[in-house]
Amino acid sequence: MKSFSAKLSVIIPNWNGVKHLPICLNALNCQTYNDFDVILVDNGSADESVAYVKQNHPLVKVHAFPENRGFATACNAGVAESEAQYIALLNTDTKPHPDWIRSLVSAMDAASPQVACLASKMLKMNLPDLIDDAGDILTWRGGTFKRGHGQPASRYNDPEEVFAPCAGAALYRRSVMNEMGGFDESFFAYLEDMDLGLRIRLAGYRCLFVPTAKVFHVGHGSALPHEHYIFLIARNRIFLFLKNIPFILIVKHLASLTYGWLFYFLAFCFSRTYLKGTLASLKYVLPMLKKRKQIRKHTKLSLDAIDRALSRDWPEISLGRLSCQWLRHFFGQKK
């Protein structure tokens, strides 16, 4: 690993991830591509993450915050530390295949300038024949989904265009990240990568899936407490559409968006935290509208193209079926 002036920087946001870091960092040491450096951004970990990295991986540059400032802020801090042409983001709870970086760099070098980011072939760590994520999907019901999740990995061997990458293992052109203003730090965590991916798409850029860029992923390696997760998901989903989607399309798909909100409200068992997250978005309306104005200035896709870019498929069960399941569960407990 080079310490500076590398072609690519691998940025690893970390929060109490010391149990995963040995596998992740040792796998990076085994990469068949050498022109890269590693920047670990620590979000005030209470474990021995920073001490472990400094003692065992001295070539890794560590940027340590005194408290948890969120995934988005950590990623932006890592990008600011880098001078590389390409930025690869990597979760702590991963084990990249030895050819991971080589595959991504080769694909981006060969791609047109309109390709701004690349999605890795993320495989389940304990079930490596199954897909964890092969690119992310955004639907008109407000849901975001992992393409191919739980399906045989053999079905995803062809490079193809996808909506956006999962930032748990993705490559970006640094120039485009800077053009987009990086991750929106008001998201803190969750959906911030979809927000960046959506802005990249609106600006006319594309994302490709690279099947040879394999990464084994545990999942939820640095997850926040469940209630905080529910709050952020509810709030950030509104941020995502309020910031980026033309109002005429929001009105057109209002019934679908309402359906999605009700689905997750029910899926989270009528959670007060979900309501709090929804209501919390209201105090950010003016800042989001200000950001929206800037995004609209740089949007190159037509309304029809934006409409087509978001999926109408719904991988979840129907709202009606979910309601029946919940009622059976509720009345079963009453007996």
Are 149 and 198 in a shared domain?
yes
Are 55 and 110 in a shared domain?
yes
pLDDT of residue 330: 65
- Residue 2 within a domain: no
CA distances from 30 to 96, 199, 241 (A): 9, 34, 40
Are 191 and 288 in a shared domain?
no
CA distance 219 to 91: 9
Where the chain has pLDDT below 70, the residues are 1-5, 220-224, 329-335
pLDDT of residue 198: 98
Are 27 and 116 in a shared domain?
yes
Given 217, 245, 265, the domain boundary residue is 217
pLDDT of residue 223: 62
CA–CA–CA angle 107, 111, 113 (5° rounding): 135
User: For the chain, what's the residue count?
Assistant: 335
State the residue range of the domain holding 246. Answer: 226-334
Given 176, 191, 217, the domain boundary residue is 217
Are 128 and 254 in a shared domain?
no
Are 206 and 87 in a shared domain?
yes
Contact partners, residue 9, CB within 8 Å, separation at least 6: 36, 37, 38, 39, 78, 79, 81, 82, 83, 84, 86, 87, 88
Domain count, the chain: 2
Are 198 and 250 in a shared domain?
no
- Residue 47 within a domain: yes
Are 239 and 191 in a shared domain?
no
Given 217, 248, 279, the domain boundary residue is 217
Q: Which token pair is 68?
A: 């948890």
Are 55 and 202 in a shared domain?
yes
- Residue 1 within a domain: no
Are 255 and 294 in a shared domain?
yes
pLDDT of residue 1: 43
Are 95 and 205 in a shared domain?
yes
Is 32 strand, coil or helix? coil
- Residue 207 within a domain: yes
pLDDT of residue 269: 85
pLDDT of residue 197: 98
CATH value at residue 12: 3.90.550.10
- Residue 3 within a domain: no
CA distances from 201 to 41, 90, 195, 300, 307 (A): 27, 21, 10, 9, 12
Are 289 and 247 in a shared domain?
yes
- Residue 32 within a domain: yes
